[in-house]
């Protein structure tokens, strides 16, 4: 923002984002700034979709929320179940998931997973380590810990994937079912979901062509493992994250889609 600018804050925010779009950082942005639950500033900038034809972003455009799945779905569901007394935070994960009943993982608690202090690695490509999605939990349990539980904080996708499996084990319901029953319906959210229907695609922002960053990591660090499931075309209307895609589009760490207004509503309600 230029020194001494007299533009209002909304114009300044929008111009900042326009500059980043023009620089090629991202194709679109939608923002809402709220105070006491009410929107103060809001704007939609750029193209939500560029190919095969451009679709301008709007305030209702739906985005892949990626890791916001962790607090908005997995964390919230864990909080609800804890409040009901379905588990205590110090319960060992192995009490519910037999795959974690091993020497190094027996002391990992639910609290450790929620606070990223479990010792689990930040990320591993489950689609390279597991035979199929049913084998994913065992694959995570087979990854050596990077430190003792409770010793350090390392942000971990793997930990929240395990929490997703834990929620499903405790309830007998899939993560999308739990989210619909306990979050989306009570909060009256109609544009928030996992695995968008094909008909909703035109209202969803596209992601990148393929998944170059993740593929580069795999080819660098897991070069001896073959994977035939790489996506090379535009990822549009399906989850971008490779592990979430491998797990069927819905996982404890990623997979949620929503627009800015409903995301704001979810955050305020939580």
Q: Distance between CA 64 and CA 211 in Å, rounded?
A: 14
Distance CA 96, CA 112 (A): 15
Answer with the one of 134, 157, 172 that is the final residue of a domain.
172
**CATH, residue 126:** 1.20.58.710
Confidence of residue 150 (pLDDT cuts 50, 70, 90): very high
Count up the domains in the chain and report the number.
2
d(CA 236, CA 206): 4
Give 184's pLDDT tier (boundaries 50, 70, 90): very high
pLDDT at 7: 60
Residue 42, in any domain of the structure: yes
pLDDT tens string 189-234? 999 999 999 888 889 999 999 999 999 999 999 988 889 999 989 9
Structural domain contains residue 82: no
| CA 106 – CA 121 distance, rounded (Å) | 16
CA separation for the pair 206, 138 (Å, rounded): 32
Beta bridge pairs of residue 31: 43
pLDDT for position 89: 98
- 71 in a structural domain: no
In a domain, 78, yes or no: no
Residue 227 belongs to some domain of the structure = no
CB 112 within 8 A of CB 214: no
Q: Are residues 102 and 162 in the same domain?
A: yes
In a shared domain, residues 95 and 168: yes
Confidence of residue 9 (pLDDT cuts 50, 70, 90): confident
Query: pLDDT at position 37, please?
Result: 81
Residues 51 and 98 in one domain: no
Q: Do 53 and 100 sit in the same domain of this protein? A: no
Domain boundary among 172, 205, 239: 172
Do β-strands 62-66 and 256-259 pair in parallel, antiparallel, or remain unpaired? antiparallel
pLDDT band at 268 (very low <50, low <70, confident <90, very high): low
Q: Are residues 95 and 52 in the same domain?
A: no
Token couple for 97: 């998931």
pLDDT category at 266 given cuts 50, 70, 90 is: confident
Structural domain span for residue 39: 1-59
Three-state secondary-structure class, residue 48: strand
Closest CA to 236 of 61, 22, 67: 61
Domain stop point among 155, 172, 189: 172
205 within some domain? no
Quick one: 97 and 166 in the same domain? Answer: yes
Together in a domain, 115 and 165: yes
Q: What is the pLDDT of residues 28-61, one digit of tens each?
A: 999 999 988 888 999 999 999 999 899 999 999 9
Judgement on whether residues 110 and 41 belong to the same structural domain of the protein: no
Kindly tell me if the per-residue pLDDT of 3 is higher than 90.
no
98 shares its domain with 166? yes
Euclidean distance between CA atoms 107 and 10, whole angstroms? 49
> What is the tally of helices (H) and strands (E) in the chain?
11, 6
Q: Is residue 261 part of a domain?
A: no
> What does the block give as tokens for 142?
């087979």
Give the pTM.
0.94
Q: Is residue 119 part of a domain?
A: yes
| Together in a domain, 98 and 160 | yes
- Chain center to CA of 184: 16
């Amino acid at each position: 923002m230029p020194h001494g600018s007299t533009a209002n804050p909304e114009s300044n925010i929008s111009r900042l984002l326009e500059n980043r779009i023009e620089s090629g950082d991202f194709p679109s942005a939608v923002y809402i700034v709220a105070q006491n639950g009410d929107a103060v500033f809001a704007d939609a900038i750029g193209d939500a979709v560029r190919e095969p034809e451009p679709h301008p972003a709007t305030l209702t455009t739906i985005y892949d929320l990626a890791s916001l799945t962790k607090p908005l779905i997995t964390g919230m569901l864990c909080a609800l179940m804890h409040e009901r007394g379905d588990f205590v935070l110090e319960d060992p994960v192995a009490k519910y998931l037999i795959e974690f009943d091993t020497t190094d993982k027996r002391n990992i608690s639910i609290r450790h997973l929620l606070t990223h202090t479990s010792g689990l690695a930040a990320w591993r490509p489950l689609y390279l380590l597991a035979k199929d999605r049913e084998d994913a939990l065992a694959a995570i349990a087979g990854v050596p810990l990077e430190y003792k539980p409770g010793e350090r904080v390392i942000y971990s996708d793997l930990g929240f994937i395990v929490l997703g499996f834990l929620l499903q084990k405790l309830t007998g319901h899939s993560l999308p079912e739990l989210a619909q029953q306990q979050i989306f319906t009570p909060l009256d959210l109609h544009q928030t979901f996992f695995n968008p229907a094909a008909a909703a695609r035109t209202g969803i922002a596209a992601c990148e062509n393929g998944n170059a960053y993740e593929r580069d990591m795999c080819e660098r660090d897991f070069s001896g493992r073959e994977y035939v499931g790489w996506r090379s075309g535009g990822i549009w209307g399906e989850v971008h994250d490779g592990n979430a895609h491998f797990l069927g589009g819905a996982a404890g760490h990623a997979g949620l889609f929503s627009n800015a207004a409903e995301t704001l509503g979810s955050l305020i309600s939580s």
